[in-house]
């Protein structure tokens, strides 16, 4: 099982499978629409945050997996890697982070980000969590991107399956390097979404599936996580 987890972590940081971060990958006269699709999907992917169990006694977590838009973009289902870690500082506060690079076609993106998760609720439970996360996407030929996400979720348990249900908002700012008059030098936007994750214990790991729903750009995720201490 350790081999499976390590293999998934290493694979997710090496290969993005079909994600496209270039503005010249399609033939177009006015390419602003394609550029906006690339940037919007990239920022929405970066809004993924680790599902840290608020009642777990373990302090350190590693979560690895993949995300993919539910709808096709330019005729393909793009797939993005995820690699997150979390450290519980206190019973109701955790620090999260992303720090990895990978290969995608002709690109070598670098992901760097950090955030906090604050847990609260009733007297004997901390089943609500508010998350704030900023992530930068660098190392691309055509643009750089900053993604900021605010997220509120509630943890529920049904038939030994844990659910994390809620919603949030993802804000992004993009700076373009691509020389095309139809593409703005800067793009800014906001994506509001509803989110649900389901997690199930399997041996010493947790297997999870999640989705973030938006009318124009929904995202599905699969992940495996390991609590260390």
Q: What does the pLDDT look like over 35-62, one tens digit per residue?
A: 888 999 999 999 999 999 998 999 999 9
Report whether 22 contacts 34 (CB < 8 A): no
Number of other CB atoms surrounding residue 70 within 10 Å: 13
Question: HSE-up of 109 (CA within 13 Å, CB side)?
Answer: 28
CA distance 164 to 156: 6
Q: Taking residues 74-96, what's their average pLDDT? A: 92
The structure tokens 């995720």 sit at 221
Exposure string of 98-133, with b = 16+ CB inside 10 Å and e = fewer, is bebebebeebebebebebebebeeeeeebbbbebbb
Per DSSP, the residues of 132-196 read: EEEEEEES-SSEEEEEEEEEEEEEEEETTEEEEEEEEEEEEEEEE----TTS-SEEEEEEEEEEE
Class of domain 2-227: mainly beta
Confidence grade of residue 4 (pLDDT, cut at 50, 70, 90): low
Q: What is the dihedral sign for C-alpha 172, 177, 178, 179? A: positive
Q: What does the pLDDT look like over 137-161, one tens digit per residue?
A: 999 999 999 999 999 999 999 999 9
Structure tokens at 24: 């010249």
Reply yes or no on whether the pLDDT at 9 is more than 70: no
Residue 130, Ramachandran bin (φ over 0: left; ψ between -120 and 50: alpha; else beta):
beta
pTM: 0.90
């Amino acid at each position: 099982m350790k081999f499976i987890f390590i293999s998934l972590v290493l694979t997710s940081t090496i290969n993005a499978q079909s994600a496209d971060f270039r503005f010249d990958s399609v033939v177009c006269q006015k390419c602003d629409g394609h550029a906006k699709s690339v940037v919007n999907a990239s920022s929405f992917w970066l809004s993924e945050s680790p599902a840290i169990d608020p009642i777990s006694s373990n302090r350190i977590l590693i979560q690895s997996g993949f995300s993919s838009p539910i709808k096709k973009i330019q005729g393909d289902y793009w797939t993005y890697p995820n690699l997150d870690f979390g450290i519980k500082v206190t019973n109701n506060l955790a620090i999260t982070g992303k720090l990895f690079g990978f290969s995608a076609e002709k690109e070598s993106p670098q992901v760097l980000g950090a955030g906090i998760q604050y847990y609260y609720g009733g007297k004997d439970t901390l089943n609500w969590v508010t998350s704030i996360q900023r992530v930068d996407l660098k190392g691309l030929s055509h643009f750089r991107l900053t993604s900021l996400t605010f997220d509120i979720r509630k943890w529920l348990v049904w038939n030994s399956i844990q659910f994390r249900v809620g919603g949030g908002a993802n804000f992004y700012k993009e700076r373009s390097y691509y020389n095309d008059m139809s593409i703005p030098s800067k793009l800014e936007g906001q994506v509001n979404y509803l989110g649900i994750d389901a997690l199930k214990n399997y041996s010493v790991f947790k297997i999870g599936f999640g989705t973030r729903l938006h009318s124009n750009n929904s995202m599905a995720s699969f992940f495996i996580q390991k609590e260390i201490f």
